[in-house]
Amino acid sequence: MGGEGDNPMAPEGESAQLARLILTLRSQGVTDPKVLSAIETTPREVFTPDLFKERAWEDSALPIACGQTISQPFIVGLMTQALKLEPRARVLEIGAGSGYQTTILSKLARLVYTVERYRTLLREAEGRFQALGLTNVITKFGDGGKGWPEQAPFDRIMVTAAAPSEPKALLSQLKPNGVLVAPIGKGPVQSLRRYTGDGRGGFAVETLAEVRFVPLLDGVAKEL
């Protein structure tokens, strides 16, 4: 991992903010050097609306189009670390959003399949992936709750919206020893849970933190 604030893509004046962010993540328990390096070298301002670009390196969630958000860097780091990614992993992401989390996953896995229900968000994210030269991200406009059965099974699955209950359809698309990380719950505060396959069709379930995510909705969005 490079030195604090050495991100060559960070504009002049943001290196100190980036260094503070990385130190903050470490102090909160995001300690995997590969995850920290992926965050450090991913230009969050690229994924942030113009109105909020000055806040791109804050450890806070920010609004994006379609009533969605770009997640807090701590939550991105926590969820990415919880996946226990391996370089050859095939990952399914539910909810591309701005593409920020997708980009970080793409630096740590062989292939990332991402499903987004808002066509506007998906088009914008695809433009960012192209601009950043990402070649291992495969996108789909669709209902994230149904996963991507044609590409299953996956080594890892990350859900970036709150499922109301155990996401059985997604768990069925995991390899026997796979890992799924998702916020679970119907209220404004949800439980971030990790499901780890036991190789026999069952799962060990751990609660990692309390989080706040937009809900995982059925179907695709109708946009004007």
How far is C-alpha 56 from the geometric centre of its chain's CA atoms? 16
Distance CA 145, CA 184 (A): 13
State the Cα–Cα distance between residues 80 and 104, nearest whole angstrom.
8
Burial 134-153 (b: 16+ CB within 10 A, else e): beebebbbbbbbebbeeebe
CA 55 to chain centre: 19
**Exposed/middle/buried for residue 175 (C-beta within 10 Å: 0-12, 13-18, 19+):** middle
**Per-residue b/e over 177-200, b at no fewer than 16 CB within 10 Å?**
ebbbbbbbbeeeebbbbbbbbeee
Q: Rounded to an integer, what distance in angstroms lies between the CA atom of residue 63 and that of residue 93?
A: 20
Separation of alpha carbons 161 and 178, rounded Å? 20
Catalytic residues: 71
